[in-house]
Amino acid sequence: MTEPAKPPLNPGDEAEPGTVGSGEDICPQCGGTGKLASGQSCPECGGTGRIVEGIGGG
Ligand SMILES: [Zn+2]
């Protein structure tokens, strides 16, 4: 089963992209670089440097 129109969420994502009441933000784990200090890809944002946060709403 593939869902090409629905990219997988990263661990740091709190909501799906495009979800009402959510917003993209810099990943606090890597500071938006997508990489950790060790040089490894940030697992929180999947190396994108950004996460999707749920803001407001419920
Ligand atoms: Zn990150």
In sequence order, what E strands does 1-58 have?
A: 22-26, 50-54
Q: Are 56 and 21 in contact (CB under 8 A)?
A: yes
Q: For the chain, report the end-to-end CA distance as a whole number of angstroms.
A: 30
Q: What are phi and psi of 51, to 5 degrees?
A: -130, 165
pLDDT tens digits, 7-57 = 677 888 877 767 777 788 899 999 999 999 999 999 999 999 999 887 665
Cα-to-centroid distance, 25 and ligand 1 (Å): 10
pTM attached to this predicted model:
0.61
Q: Are 11 and 44 in contact (CB under 8 A)?
A: yes
Residues 13/52, Cβ–Cβ less than 8 Å:
yes
- Between the CA of 23 and the centroid of ligand 1 the distance, in Å, is 15
CA 26 to centroid of ligand 1, rounded, Å: 8
Q: Which residues surround ligand 1, an ion (CB under 5 A)?
A: 27, 29-30, 42, 44-45
Q: What ranges do the domains of the chain cover?
A: 24-58
